[in-house]
Amino acid sequence: MILRIIVAILLIMALSTTLYTWLNDQNPLPKSVGKDGKIMLKTKLPEIKVAAVYRIVDVERVLIPPKKNLREVKFVPSESEAINILNSYLNISGYNGLVLKNVETVTTKTINTKTGEITKVKPEFVSIVYGREINGTPVIGPAADGIVAAVADNEVIYLSKLWRKVEKIGEKRIITAENALKKLEYGELLNNPLYTGTKLEIRDVKLAYYAENENQKYYKVVWLFKCVDEYGNWVDIIVDASS
């Protein structure tokens, strides 16, 4: 008996959860940060005491539902061609700080259920995920700016976009990375990350702008701790940088 298994479904999801969830997709994780276990610093803490503040002037939201189902797709371009198709569609030069986060060809597989052998692999579309940085500082959070698209038959067949027009209004003093680490150890976090095992290694620490929802007036300045647990899962921990 041949069973056709779809290994990836067209990216029909709200952009409000796309980028942050995609970057933090983990196996089931039982332990909360700051509760038990050992947190080990494996990198140098940045010495930054002031950060730029950005006001959100306008928000652009676009959702183009899937134009066709997978059975209708006849041609899947290469990943580089798909990026060019999307960039041309978006007029990419108008998006300052756009950063390519992921591109992959999504396939369906036909599997022989008796032998477990994959008998056919069929490309269905190319998925593309863009994030955003502002002067090199990433925008993160459940409502982070970004673009999620699917390309097939030399056209964009799905698009979800959330993009903000912002302006710098000044600078503000922030807590040091050292003090942010103390808040992390006490579990004073903006997100609720989980991890496996008893140890968590902090591999990188950087400033970021946090987008909690689509209606906020300013980006929140945060410290982002990029960590790895004992099983190699990447875990993002976010601490408010407000002084």
Q: Please name which of 156, 151, 131, 159 lies closest in space to residue 78, comparing C-alpha atoms.
A: 151
Per-residue pLDDT tens over the stretch 150-186: 999 999 999 999 999 999 999 999 999 999 999 998 8
Over 60: is that where the pLDDT of 189 sits? yes
How far is residue 3 from each of residues 17, 109, 112, 113, 114, measured CA to CA in Å?
A: 31, 9, 6, 6, 10
Give residue 25's pLDDT: 41
Yes or no: say if 52 and 162 are a contact pair by the CB < 8 Å rule: no
- The residues, ordered by sequence, that sit 6+ positions from 72 with a Cβ below 8 Å of its Cβ are none
User: Token digits for 17?
Assistant: 């959860």
Burial of 147 (0-12, 13-18, 19+ CB in 10 A): buried
Query: DSSP 3-state assignment of 106?
Result: strand
> What does the pLDDT average to over 75-89?
97
Residue 201 clears pLDDT 90, i.e. is over it = yes
Residues of the chain above pLDDT 90, percent: 68
Whole-number pLDDT of residue 197: 79
Instruction: Quote the pLDDT of residue 36.
Output: 56
pLDDT score for 33: 55
Q: How far apart are the first and last CA of the chain?
A: 63
Q: How many CB atoms lie within 10 A of CB 42?
A: 10
Work out the average pLDDT over 4-29: 37
More confident residue, 194 or 30: 194
**pLDDT value at 34 more than 60:** no
What string of DSSP letters covers 186-217? TT--SS--EESSSEEEEEEEEEEEE---TT-S
CA–CA separation, 206 vs 163, rounded Å? Answer: 22
Residue 37 has a pLDDT of 58
Q: 179 CB contacts (<8 Å, ≥6 apart)? A: none
